[in-house]
Amino acid sequence: MAKTIFIIGERGKTVLIYGLLKKFLSLGMKAGYFKPISKARYRLPSMKYVDPDVIAVKQALNLEDSFEDINPIIITRNILDLKSDINALRKRIEDAYNKIAQGRDVVLVESYPNLEAMTSIGLALPQLAKILNAKTVFLLNAKDRDVVDEMVDKVILHSCYFEHYGAKIDGVIINNVPVYYFERVEDVVAPEIEKLGIKVYGIIRERVRLTAPTVSDIIEVLDADVLENKDKLNNIVEDIVIGAMAPSTALRWFRRAVNAAIVTGGDRTDLIVMALETRPSVVVLTGGLYPDIGVLIKAREVGTPLLLVPYDTYTTVEKLREAQFMITPSSLKAKESDILEVIEKEIKWKELIQ
């Protein structure tokens, strides 16, 4: 029988699951991915809704399971209406899960982000945990808190909720711990959680970024035209810099950024050339303003992709910010070695599958 681990909780679940799966697969284990319920965010050309996280994990790991099996239920609008079909829903989840679990050593299950989701129709997280006979692990995000000790309260709240349904939280993973909280988390917070009888499977230090979109991802989000270097779209994008000041000042900002998307108007020849000089990941020209031929020559020389978008600079940056947190097959792969390092050094992954 497959060992099932149900990952619930805050930001970072998909990346953690991807890392664990990658790790298990590399050990020769048969590992599967399951996301029983997701929100519709993306529509395939076939008009079917898909969760982009599911696409990303499936494609990045080359999983052969169908989308329907990995993610049987997609919430489009209403949930209360589903109440009458609850048995059918459960059945769908069970059937799909069984297909995924078939012949597998371990299945990682990703939950909905919030604790209370689907409680109203009888599909609360602890109920799902029971259906899947899964070991539940709660992922906490330390960075988002001004008072880091609050995480213990959060764990107690979740634990009580699970106990209410006769389930339990087996352990926690504390994610994204800034350097200035680390001592506190390690010396005070984690022991406090363990006193509750809940294991701490890992404390993950804050890293600037564990996923990064590639230029191709950005092209898709921005619906951009590629003016130069169509064959060099695998650069990762980790930073966004806007070029709006005098070239000499702008240079200071361009230089500080690493793997940046530099955004500026298509008519700002001086800035674009200056930007290219610092070898960023990509230069995005806004306002639909086609640049000077000299700019194209320079871009070709330095090998930096040059994109043209119809939006103004502000809109472009907004869209880019969204894209930064987007999980795509290539964004998962971009920093794969970093993700695996986290799993190896900071997660007690052996205990997790015991």
Partner 1 sequence: MQTAKSDMDRLFKPRSVAVIGASRDPKKLGFGILKNIVDCGYKGSVYPVNPQADQILGLKVYKSVLEIPDEVDLAVIVVPAPAVLDVMEECGKKSVKYAVIISAGFKEAGGEGIERERRLIEIAKKYGIRVVGPNCLGILDMYTPLNASFAYWSNYKGGIAFISQSGALLSGILDWAGKVGIGFSKIVSLGNKADLNEVDFIEYLGEDPETKVILLYLESIADGRKFVDVVSRATRKKPVVLIMGGITERGARAALSHTGAMAAGGVALKAALRKAGALLVETPTELYDLAIAFDYQPIPLGSRVAVVTNAGGPGVITTDLLTARGLAVAEFAKETISYLKSKLPPMAAVYNPVDVIGDARADRYAVALEAVLRDPNVDGVIVILTPQIVTEPEETAKVIVELHRKYPTKPVLASFIGGEKVSKAIEILKESKIPVYEFPDRAVMALAGLCRYRELREYVLKIVEHVELFDVDRSRALEVIEEAKKQNRRVLLEHEAKEVVKSYGIPVAPTKLATSESEAVEIARKLGYPVVLKIASPDITHKSDVGGVLVNLKSDEEVAEAFRTIILNVRRYAPTASIHGVVVQRMVPMGREVIIGVTKDPTFGHIMMFGLGGIYTELFKDVSFRLAPLSLYEAREMITETKAYALLKGFRGAPPADINSVINILLRTSKLVTDISQIAEMDINPLFVYEEGMGSIAVDVKIVVE
Q: In what order do the strands lie in the sheet with 3-9?
A: 31-34, 106-110, 3-9, 135-141, 169-177, 199-205
Regarding 289 and contact with partner 1 (CB under 8 A), the answer is: no
- By C-beta, is 180 or 231 nearer to partner 1? 180
Distance CA 198, CA 47 (A): 43
- By C-beta, is 196 or 297 nearer to partner 1? 297
Q: Give the chain's length.
A: 354
Regarding 277 and contact with partner 1 (CB under 8 A), the answer is: yes
Regarding 287 and contact with partner 1 (CB under 8 A), the answer is: no
Tell me the CA distances in angstroms from 97 to 39, 65, 119, 154, one per residue in order.
18, 11, 20, 29
Query: Is-contact 304 282, C-beta < 8 A?
Result: yes
- By C-beta, is 59 or 259 nearer to partner 1? 259
Binding footprint of partner 1, residue count (CB under 8 A)? 33
Residues 134-163 close enough to bind partner 1 by CB under 8 A: 146
Distance CA 102, CA 104 (A): 6
Q: Dmax over Cα atoms in the chain, in whole Å? A: 69
The CB-of-331 to partner 1 minimum distance in angstroms stands at 16
* Residue 179 one-letter amino acid: V
Regarding 179 and contact with partner 1 (CB under 8 A), the answer is: yes
* Residue 19 one-letter amino acid: G
DSSP string, 113-170: SSTTTTGGGT--HHHHHHHHT-EEEEEEESTT-SSTTHHHHHHHHHHHHHHHTT--EE
Considering only residues 194, 301, 318, 351, which one is a binding residue for partner 1 as defined by CB under 8 A? 301
Query: Is-contact 177 141, C-beta < 8 A?
Result: no
Binding mask 41-80 for partner 1 (x = CB under 8 A): ----------------------------------------
Residue 245 sits at φ, ψ, to 5 deg, of: -95, -175
Tell me the CA distances in angstroms from 259 to 37, 43, 142, 210, 333, one per residue in order.
35, 30, 26, 14, 16
The CB-of-144 to partner 1 minimum distance in angstroms stands at 10
- By C-beta, is 95 or 301 nearer to partner 1? 301
Considering only residues 40, 188, 245, 297, which one is a binding residue for partner 1 as defined by CB under 8 A? 297
The CB-of-20 to partner 1 minimum distance in angstroms stands at 24
Query: Is-contact 334 311, C-beta < 8 A?
Result: no
CB under 8 A: which stretch of 91-99, 155-163, 175-183, 304-312 binds partner 1?
A: 175-183
Regarding 206 and contact with partner 1 (CB under 8 A), the answer is: yes
Per-residue tokens: 258: 């690493």
Regarding 197 and contact with partner 1 (CB under 8 A), the answer is: no
Considering only residues 79, 99, 247, 287, which one is a binding residue for partner 1 as defined by CB under 8 A? 247
The CB-of-233 to partner 1 minimum distance in angstroms stands at 19
Regarding 353 and contact with partner 1 (CB under 8 A), the answer is: no
The CB-of-185 to partner 1 minimum distance in angstroms stands at 11
Regarding 232 and contact with partner 1 (CB under 8 A), the answer is: no
CB under 8 A: which stretch of 48-56, 82-90, 119-127, 291-299 binds partner 1?
A: 291-299
Q: Is 70 helix (H, G, I), strand (E, B) or coil?
A: helix
Regarding 337 and contact with partner 1 (CB under 8 A), the answer is: no
| Residues β-bridged to residue 34 | 109
Q: Which residues bind partner 1 (CB under 8 A)?
A: 146, 178-180, 182-184, 206, 208, 247-248, 251-252, 255-259, 269-270, 273-274, 277-278, 292-298, 300-301
